[in-house]
Chains A and B, each alone.
Chain A
């Protein structure tokens, strides 16, 4: 059996935390130091490749004005949203089904274990051969392939690992099956599911970019390749930063959702 990803928010490293606000100050300082070093010392190492952050910043309006960034972003988001929706729905459905039924678990587990052990990248040629190299479909399928396993496995483990004490409480109060799911199983599995979704967000983005590299030349990934091939490193970093922002924004969104639907996880700091 695979271990599910750690539920809940990760503990802060190093036990003792600095007095109020200092954590943020250190983080901001870290970013500033790296950017400043890059700005002033990077170009002196290799002016053709290491473009300073200011040049990357200046490339943003260029790519927006000629419309390339919007086009690529639209293509990418369409594919990502489609693939992640499939990953979420199928992952939840299969996770719940295999979490509650031993037979379904045994039917799908060999496949899940095998497919999850193989680096998903290795399966992209298979996706290409199966679904062709044109249109959104093969790229959507790739995103779904990358995103589904953490959601499926975490949902399954969340459903299987419900505290047996609480299941007994539900029985002792003559709970119906429907109420058992509402009161016990779903809330107990929710932190696991959300942890799976957080993992899936990052993996889905990898799937999206790699699919754009390898099949169907479109989207932010294609833009990266194009500007890499033409040595426009300043422009190449624009889609890279956009992908990072998408990832960070989605993680933040999931954490926000977690706070709303699972407020009991907000333990005292």
Chain B
């Protein structure tokens, strides 16, 4: 972490695809403070997911850099964990084995793995499903496994790639509440990609609104709704309506 409390910074990040014809984002700048939850909101096709993959070194930037803890990101690191929109569970591993996956790869001692797996299975509400295979779980339960797998490695930075994007509205709200509870019990630096305005406001300390392709940072909104929050408490807050309208107007101009 740098002296001013910045854990992750995006500096002039540019990504160009396909022999330079398609620029998905250009000159992005963003600094995420330690323990801060930043939601990145943008129209579809603006490279949100690509940006997140670059933050983890899963894709390369064409220009600029992303710095975590003072070092430029080149490949995935053990103190950063990712939650995927497609869940990314191994169908052949039981819940418990999926949760322990990251810990095993990190070479954590067996006893620690056992203890952590139990703790995070409890934390995300998977008790009783430890021996189930993913196919037997609903989408919401599967993403709880994805979340537990990422949290279990106790990462310094959590990267969330539209983790609830494929869930139905009700399940989605339940999991947003779960994530709020988990985050508020122990805030850790989080970058959360979404195209849902409500989700971005409910979860984020700040909301970064991107423009359409080639994406730039259009505006950064501070969500001054006090924590601890729940989705219900956020929606009931009068500032929510203001923020939502502001986001809506910004995105409307881009959607065209």
Task: List chain A positions with a Cβ less than 8 A from chain B.
Answer: 165-166, 168-169, 171-176, 179, 183-184, 187-188, 190, 262-264, 267-268
Across-interface contacts of A184 in B (CB, < 8 A): 90
Contact (Cβ within 8 A) B105 A169: no
B17 adjacent to chain A (CB < 8 Å)? no
Contact (Cβ within 8 A) A166 B133: no
Contact (Cβ within 8 A) B92 A262: yes
Contact (Cβ within 8 A) B90 A183: yes
Known: A165-B84, A165-B86, A264-B92. A174 touches B77 (CB 8 A): yes
Q: Cα distance A175–B88 when bound, in Å?
A: 14
Contact (Cβ within 8 A) A171 B136: no
Across-interface contacts of B84 in A (CB, < 8 A): 165, 168-169, 172
Across-interface contacts of A262 in B (CB, < 8 A): 92
CB distance from B250 to the nearest CB of A (A): 31
Q: Cα distance A175–B58 when bound, in Å?
A: 13
Task: List chain B positions with a Cβ less than 8 A from chain A.
Answer: 56, 58, 75-78, 81-82, 84, 86, 88, 90-93, 101-102, 104-106, 133-136, 153
Contact (Cβ within 8 A) B105 A264: no
Contact (Cβ within 8 A) A168 B58: yes
| 26 A-B residue pairs with CB within 8 Å | A165-B84, A165-B86, A165-B88, A166-B88, A169-B84, A171-B76, A172-B76, A172-B81, A172-B84, A173-B76, A173-B101, A173-B102, A174-B75, A174-B105, A175-B105, A179-B104, A183-B90, A183-B101, A187-B90, A188-B92, A190-B92, A262-B92, A264-B133, A264-B134, A267-B135, A268-B135
The 6 closest A-B pairs by CB, nearest first: A169-B88, A187-B92, A173-B102, A264-B92, A264-B133, A172-B82
Q: Cα distance A264–B134 when bound, in Å?
A: 8
CB distance from A265 to the nearest CB of B (A): 9
Q: Which single member of B82, B92, B105 contacts A179 (CB below 8 Å)?
A: B105
Residue of B nearest to A267 (CB): B135
CB distance from B135 to the nearest CB of A (A): 6
Q: Cα distance A41–B58 when bound, in Å?
A: 71
Across-interface contacts of A183 in B (CB, < 8 A): 90, 93, 101
CB distance from A175 to the nearest CB of B (A): 5
Contact (Cβ within 8 A) A168 B92: no
Contact (Cβ within 8 A) B92 A172: no
Across-interface contacts of A187 in B (CB, < 8 A): 90-92
Q: Cα distance A184–B134 when bound, in Å?
A: 15
CB distance from A52 to the nearest CB of B (A): 49
Given A165-B88, A176-B105; 4 other pairs, CB 8 A cutoff: A168-B88, A172-B76, A175-B105, A183-B93
Across-interface contacts of B93 in A (CB, < 8 A): 183
Q: Cα distance A184–B98 when bound, in Å?
A: 12
Q: Which single member of A172, A176, A188, A268 contacts B56 (CB below 8 Å)?
A: A172
Q: Cα distance A263–B56 when bound, in Å?
A: 33
Q: Cα distance A76–B135 when bound, in Å?
A: 42
Across-interface contacts of A172 in B (CB, < 8 A): 56, 58, 76, 81-82, 84
Q: Which single member of A174, A179, A263, A268 contacts B78 (CB below 8 Å)?
A: A174
Across-interface contacts of A176 in B (CB, < 8 A): 105
Residue of A nearest to B133 (CB): A264
Contact (Cβ within 8 A) B133 A263: yes
CB distance from B256 to the nearest CB of A (A): 31
Contact (Cβ within 8 A) A171 B58: yes
CB distance from A163 to the nearest CB of B (A): 9
Across-interface contacts of A267 in B (CB, < 8 A): 135
Q: Cα distance A173–B84 when bound, in Å?
A: 12
Q: Cα distance A168–B56 when bound, in Å?
A: 11
Contact (Cβ within 8 A) A264 B135: yes
Across-interface contacts of B92 in A (CB, < 8 A): 187-188, 190, 262, 264
Known: A165-B84, A168-B88, A264-B91. A173 touches B105 (CB 8 A): yes
Contact (Cβ within 8 A) B58 A166: no
Q: Cα distance A166–B89 when bound, in Å?
A: 7
Greatest chain B CB density within 10 A among A168, A169, A190 is at A169
Across-interface contacts of B104 in A (CB, < 8 A): 179
CB distance from A115 to the nearest CB of B (A): 32
Residue of A nearest to B75 (CB): A174
Q: Cα distance A262–B133 when bound, in Å?
A: 11
Q: Cα distance A178–B70 when bound, in Å?
A: 31
Contact (Cβ within 8 A) A166 B90: yes
Across-interface contacts of B58 in A (CB, < 8 A): 168, 171-172
Contact (Cβ within 8 A) A268 B82: no
CB distance from B191 to the nearest CB of A (A): 14
Q: Cα distance A187–B88 when bound, in Å?
A: 14
